[in-house]
Amino acid sequence: MPRPHGFTYEAHRDGTVHVTHHGRPATTLRGRRAEAFLTEVTGGDAQLVMARWTGNHRRGNERRARDHPRNRR
């Protein structure tokens, strides 16, 4: 699976964090969530952290795997 790329973030003075993916808005974080995000993004792989926080970290065959007879209940 390829590593995530193309994410950027901007932290504003009012505590708001805007995360974009290839120039398009992905999410806006405020308050405690923004603080937690900033703590995590500075401590690890920033691209992977932003992909996870935006929900854009799953790519591939998740939908097909869910419909496979072995995975049905």
Amino acid letter for position 8: T
Radius of gyration (C-alpha) of the chain in whole angstroms: 15
Q: What is the pLDDT along the chain (73 residues), one digit of tens a residue?
A: 567 788 999 999 999 999 999 999 999 999 999 999 999 999 878 988 998 888 866 555 556 666 777 777 6
55 CB contacts (<8 Å, ≥6 apart)? Answer: 27
Q: E strand or H helix at 26, and its extent?
A: strand 24-29
**pTM for the full predicted model:** 0.71
Long-range contacts of range 37-42, CB-CB < 8 Å, 24 or more positions apart? Answer: 37/9, 38/11, 41/9
Q: Where are the domains of the chain?
A: 7-67
